[in-house]
A = this chain, B = another copy of it.
Amino acid sequence: MEENKHVTIYDIAERLNLATSTISRALKDHHTISDKTIKKVKKTAEEMGFVPNTLAAGLRGNKTRTIGVLIPTVTQPFLSSLISGIEITAQKSDYTVIIMQSHDSYEEEVNMAKSLYSNRVSGVICSLAMETRDTAHFHQFSNNNIPLVFVDRVPKGYNTFRVVIDNYTAGYKATKHLIEQGCIRIAHFTAGSELGNLYNERKRGYIEALKDHNIEVEEELIINLNSVTYEDGVKASNALFDLKPIPDGLFAPGDILAVSAVQTAKKRGVKVPEEFKVIGFNNDPISQIIDPNLSTITHPAEKMGKAAADIIIKNLKSSKNDDDAKEITFLNTEVLARESSQK
């Protein structure tokens, strides 16, 4: 196992009796370099096993062709699909992706943002941690002209790019769907989070849909969860089924919650969808596994990732000092009617 020192452009230059500047330019097909030289350099570089040192280039040029991704976790289907989308698009333009997980912790998010900045990423894509209440730690990007795109869980009142779905409309659609399936007492699970206001938006849609169909909004049918987990979903579901007449429908703003409700219903002898119709959110893989199959709202994760990466890359290309307002991209969602909400 020989201890190969890294091969540098200096090594190539020495071998060919050329200047490093020539090597550097030849490797990038610079027009001032003759074709002969370019071929010769590339051939030699290949032979010597030259691999450019990204650090050196990044240091000098102050651009790393790296996109930093800061998300709560990679283990949620939605987020791993998001990454997948980012990665596919990034790769096409020869960008590298650094992924960091905040684990929904504000402190970690702050640290990792600093770390990304420290690594001089060219752009940042972020979905906020649940805990996050302020966005000061993102100013370092904005202030240094590093494109910043928030996805899905985006902050209010911060002029950056955003890629989202219309959570209000989606919530409205979901609820309307249940109404159309005959539900008249529809429950809703929600979760608090001031900055990433998506649950509030879905709830708004839910309420508005009820009102539009002359259905009374009952506070006891709206349950606030601490966390969007299976366990909390089970608790909330049990609370629902403890009600005197149980509700006949549920709009859960997440498939895990919806699944927990379906399974709890089964355990308690409540028939889905006959006595209790459910619609979830996200179209996670589990929605097609559970019996009955779960109706849900599509959430174009991969598409969102691609869109976010596209924005970063396009922005980097034009490299204009975009001081103007940052666009907000809305992606479409749809009701996916399956068995759990069948009339």
Contact = CB atoms under 8 A, between A and B. Distances in A.
Interface string A1-33: 111101000000000000000000000000000
Contact of A74 (B56, B80, B115, B120): B80
A144 B81 contact: no
A75 B77 contact: yes
A96 B96 contact: no
B3 A144 contact: yes
A4 B146 CA distance: 11
A247 interface: no
Contacts of A73: 84
Contact of A83 (B74, B259, B266): B74
A54 B259 contact: no
A259 B289 contact: yes
Contact of A140 (B49, B114, B259, B290): B49
Contacts of A115: 96
Contacts of A54: 118-120
Nearest to A293: B263
A59 B51 contact: no
A53 to B, nearest CB: 6
Nearest to A287: B289
A80 B75 contact: yes
Interface residues of A, number: 53
Interface in A97-111: 97-101, 108
A329 interface: no
A76 B143 CA distance: 37
A269 interface: no
A81 B51 CA distance: 31
B290 A145 contact: no
A140 B51 CA distance: 10
Contacts of A84: 73-75, 101
Interface in A74-91: 74-75, 77, 80-81, 83-84, 87, 91
A117 interface: yes
A212 interface: no
A144 B51 contact: no
A137 to B, nearest CB: 11
B98 A98 contact: yes
13 contacts: A1-B142, A6-B144, A53-B118, A55-B59, A59-B59, A74-B74, A74-B84, A75-B80, A84-B101, A87-B101, A96-B100, A286-B286, A289-B289
Nearest first, the 10 closest Cβ-Cβ pairs linking A and B are: A55-B59, A75-B80, A4-B143, A74-B80, A99-B99, A55-B58, A286-B289, A291-B291, A54-B118, A54-B119
